[in-house]
Amino acid sequence: MVHVGQLKMARATDEEIIERAKTDDRAVLTEGLDFGAILAVTGEVEPGVIILRVGNWTRRQIDHRLERVLGQLPEESFKNAIVVVDRQRVRIRKLPVHRREPI
């Protein structure tokens, strides 16, 4: 795992981080919804995004939850997908996100 600060990208835009993740063949790990929204709107198929929705957890609790999720799912699950990890479950939506037509 590499933090954006280690890449000297602490002030980078979300779009710049997405491009770097594509170049480096990495997934983006975030607590915000912005990255998933960008990929959904643009129709992109990469990079994968892991969105943590665990609320007010300690760093240790977050690390433990991530270790469990990453250990239980094959690496391919995180490629070309938006993966939402919350306290109780994991939801995976493959990219590109297709909008449903209203009825």
pLDDT for 42-79, tens place per residue?
999 999 999 999 999 999 999 999 999 999 999 999 99
Q: Where are the beta strands (DSSP E) in 4-80?
A: 28-30, 49-53
Q: Average of pLDDT values for 2-27?
A: 95
Please tell me whether residue 82 adopts helix, strand or coil conformation: strand
Between 101 and 60, residue with greater pLDDT: 60
**Element of type H or E holding 16:** helix 14-24
Strands 81-86 and 90-94: antiparallel
pLDDT confidence of residue 101: 59
- Strand residue runs (E) in 14-61: 28-30, 49-53
Give yes or no for a contact between 3 and 27, defined as CB atoms under 8 angstroms apart: no
- CB neighbour class for 95 (10 Å; exposed up to 12, middle 13-18, buried from 19): buried
